[in-house]
Amino acid sequence: MKKIYSILVENQSGVLAKVAGLFWRRCFNIDSLTVGETEDHSVSNMVIVSSGEKKTLEQVEKQLNKKLDIIKVRTFTETQGITRELLLVKLRYNRENRKDIMENCQILGAKILELSKNQMVIEMCDTPERIQMFLDTLKTVSILECARTGTLAMLKLSEGNA
């Protein structure tokens, strides 16, 4: 089972280490971790995707709520939230596979940022599943470098919020 934790924290040094330490000390798995400031510079938003048994994930939430630097913890599943990830991938191409790569970019919504005689840099922002699907289409190509941000997430709008 996967759970997403959207955690508002005080934007202070050491908070990330405390939260990561909580997961580490209890041997909880972190699949993805992203942190960034909110519109208020004194508050940051951490998005942690974790997987495990239901009981373990509930225990994580309880432990997070006990931390003093944490302002608010929201947990939800992948289906309850909107998730996005950013991918930058640098690859080598040739005449034979260039057209296929460009078609895959067009079909999956990726964008070519740089192009040279035999290399290109591609950007894609989409769900983690579609990012992985795109990477799978590149298995036959020589990937030189790949960087992924990790999952960003927030709860979907509910009918009561609209």
CATH of the domain at 130: 3.30.70.1150
Helix pair angle (15-25, 54-65), 10° resolution? 150
Q: Using a pLDDT cut of 70, give the percent of the chain over it.
A: 98
- Residues 32, 50, single domain; the answer is yes
Query: In this predicted structure, what is the pLDDT of residue 11?
Result: 93
Last residue of a domain, one of 49, 76, 103: 76
With 70 as the cut, is the pLDDT of residue 160 above it? Answer: no
- Residues 72, 89, single domain; the answer is no
Q: Is residue 56 included in any domain, yes or no?
A: yes
Q: Is residue 157 included in any domain, yes or no?
A: no
Return the higher-pLDDT residue of 159 and 79: 79
Mean pLDDT of 128-145: 94
SS3 content of the chain, % helix, strand, coil (to 5): 30, 45, 25
Range of the domain at 30: 2-76
Query: In this predicted structure, what is the pLDDT of residue 161?
Result: 53
With 60 as the cut, is the pLDDT of residue 159 above it? Answer: no
The whole-chain average pLDDT of the chain stands at 92
Query: In this predicted structure, what is the pLDDT of residue 22?
Result: 86
Query: In this predicted structure, what is the pLDDT of residue 145?
Result: 97
- Residues 60, 23, single domain; the answer is yes
Q: Is residue 160 included in any domain, yes or no?
A: no
Query: In this predicted structure, what is the pLDDT of residue 55?
Result: 86
Return d(Cα 85, Cα 125) in angstroms, integer. Answer: 6
With 90 as the cut, is the pLDDT of residue 57 above it? Answer: no
Token pair recorded at residue 40: 């208020």
